[in-house]
Amino acid sequence: MNPNQTTAHHALAGTSTLLYKEVLRFWKVSFQTVGAPVLTAVLYLLIFGHVLQDHVKVYDRIGYTSFLIPGLVMMSVLQNAFANSSSSLIQSKITGNLVFLLVSPLSHWAWYLAYVGGSVVRGVVVGLGVLLITIWFAPMGLAAPLWSLVFALLGAALMGSLGLIAGLWAEKFDQMAAFQNFLVMPMTMLAGVFYSVHSLPAFWQAASHLNPFFYMIDGFRHGFFGISDVSPWTSLAVVATSLVVVAGITLQLLKSGYKLRH
């Protein structure tokens, strides 16, 4: 084995080990990290579905509860992907065990792939849990499942990257909570999870189209019904571009050691 192969092998081994640690971290407390978000989504479905089922018509042939389920699934994917990388990094910074990663020979790429990979795994696991439970409440189909899979993976990777930025920036849990409560939560809730943006006044429709979270949820929903508020190709372009931009910022921050070596 030549030196280049040896280096690549060590880098792969380090990345996979850190990824395993990230997956194990949330899986060891799965009742909290997986079970609680699934229960929250089911409560949303029971409350909103029961109250609005006979009063809100989104598309001609799709009931409101059926429309709501993909939105809740994707909302769970996004929020939990963000929570995984952000909470892991801030906990490591506060408890002081981040030093063990800093003295390792892992590159910024290895950090990124491991943390974001763990976020994608958690987001997809929670999303599947929500789907398996809620699918019994309304008739569902998969018109284009590949679209749903693509948007779930891209959305989870985007939110995992954003979680890393938040974890790097925050120095205490209060700052992390502010990032989530004043940025992630509002943008998710205003992205069409509970409604079609076509039901909004013209001004708010235009505002919704400036929200990248809207394209993630709308594209994911297209995979179930084959119907969406905008073209899935437009949504794919917006989400992919957003991921490239956020990933680039995250990698640059990791490479510079932003707030990691204090």
How high is the pLDDT of residue 2? Answer: 52
Is position 32 within any domain?
yes
Residue 103 forms part of a structural domain: yes
Compute the chain's Rg from CA coordinates: 19
pLDDT tens digit sequence for 136-177:
888 788 889 999 999 999 999 999 999 999 999 988 888 888
- Supply 210's token pair: 């400036």
Q: What is the pLDDT of residue 236?
A: 97
Neighbours of 110 (CB within 10 A): 23
Residue 249, pLDDT score = 96
Q: Taking a C-beta distance cutoff of 8 angstroms, is the pair 160, 26 a contact?
A: no
In a domain? residue 7: no
Residue type, 79: Q
Q: How many domains does the chain have?
A: 1
Phi first, then psi: what are they for 59, rounded to 5°? -120, 160
**What tokens appear for 57 in the block?**
């018509």
Over 60: is that where the pLDDT of 230 sits?
Answer: yes
Q: Per-residue confidence at 246, pLDDT binned at 50, 70, 90?
A: very high
For residue 165, is it within any domain? Answer: yes
- Structural domain includes residue 9: no
User: Is 196 in contact with 229 (CB distance < 8 Å)?
Assistant: yes
Residue 57: is its pLDDT beyond 70? no
pLDDT tens string 176-220: 888 888 888 889 888 888 887 877 888 888 888 899 999 999 999
Residues 121-146 have a mean pLDDT of: 91
62, part of any domain:
yes
- The rounded distance, in Å, linking the Cα atoms of 141 and 230 is 20
What angle, rounded to 10 degrees, do the helices at 108-134 and 3-27 form?
40
State the residue range of the domain holding 75.
14-256
What percentage of the chain reaches a pLDDT higher than 70? Answer: 92
